[in-house]
Amino acid sequence: MEEKKVLFSAIQPSGILTIGNYLGALKNFRRLQSDYRSIFSLADLHTLTVRQDPAVLKKNTYELAALYLACGINPEESVLFAQSHVSAHAELTWILNTVCYPGELSRMTQFKDKSAKHEDNINMGLMDYPVLMAADILLYQTELVPIGADQKQHLELARDLAERFNNRFGETFKIPEGYIGKSAARVMSLAEPERKMSKSDANLNAFISMNDDTDTIMRKFKRAVTDSGDKIIASADKPGITNLLTIYCAFTDKPLSEAEKEFDGKGYGEFKTAVGEAVAAVVDPIRCEKNRILADKEYIDGVLKDGAERAERLAYKTLAKVYKKVGLLPRRRG
């Protein structure tokens, strides 16, 4: 029997996720954990590249852990842990820094974008973020990494560093491949459908968060921007309607052609109500389950402790090999 491939994914606990994050990542994780040896991390170290309120970061980390579980991640089947609980992530980052070049990091699009947004806090962590991400991936001999378009550049660096290390010190790391899910729906802002939906949008009506209840979801969809004309079809000159159709199809698993036929001859009001109901039917039960799990911090702590122990065993197996290759003395345990 062929051994399952290793899949690794990490999400930052930097605030409640939107339905875009859910469709792009969490919705698929439940299925992926059956098909792959899945390792899921709460990337709390990555959040520190921008200033954090410690109490809020702690709250967000619990929230994200509970959301993973509410979305169907089985901690007995998959590994779920906080990145900061496995020190091998930081240790491998240092080693990888010695085979990474400053020019590679300064050219990263995300570094340029975040530097522009946080001019008062352009720190080395912000620049070194992709090396830590490479360490996250390479520690587990990862073969597949679910990624969005904004992470392709970082995955390429992880591949380059793995190949460079292997060429210099001998075969050590597997070279990871990007995994793009079949239902990679691109969810846009409800207020400005030319822009991607974002949880940091100042306009709370522009996004649906995984914390929104049914009434809030329905209200936001009723206020969603539409286009001129009265036809409910997807087209380049109808970004608002196209976005709502994309969301409807993603939450009902219906093909676009079927959705267009379903709403043929119907008004925008009826259409927006149907989209809201489809989203609420999925999001509200997850929200309720997340809140139930969140009430039991002891359970979450236990899941993360067990996950960190399992992750650590895998991570230190790789790190021990790395240390040996570069000439560091082996760590004696016990």
pLDDT means per 10 residues, the chain with 334 residues, are: 87 92 89 93 94 95 98 96 98 97 82 68 84 97 86 90 98 93 77 91 94 97 92 93 96 95 94 98 98 98 98 97 95 70
Active-site hit among 5, 174, 196, 324:
196
Interatomic CA distance for residues 278 and 272, integer angstroms: 10
Active-site hit among 27, 114, 272, 290:
114
Global pTM reads 0.91
CB atoms within 10 A of CB 174: 17
Instruction: Give the pLDDT confidence score for residue 111 in this predicted structure.
Output: 66
Residue with tokens 């947004």: 117
Active-site hit among 27, 117, 174, 199:
199
Give the end-to-end CA distance of the chain in Å, rounded to a whole number. Answer: 36
DSSP letters, 122-159, are --HHHHHHHHHHHHHHHTTT--EEE--GGGHHHHHHHH
Instruction: Give the pLDDT confidence score for residue 85 in this predicted structure.
Output: 98
Report all structural domains of the chain as residue ranges with CATH numbers, in order of start.
6-184+297-326 (3.40.50.620), 204-292 (1.10.240.10)
Instruction: Give the pLDDT confidence score for residue 151 in this predicted structure.
Output: 76
Active site residue 325: no
Active site residue 196: yes
Instruction: Give the pLDDT confidence score for residue 177 in this predicted structure.
Output: 94
Interatomic CA distance for residues 314 and 316, integer angstroms: 6
Active site residue 199: yes
Interatomic CA distance for residues 266 and 248, integer angstroms: 15
Instruction: Give the pLDDT confidence score for residue 152 in this predicted structure.
Output: 82
Bridge partners (DSSP) listed for residue 10: 41
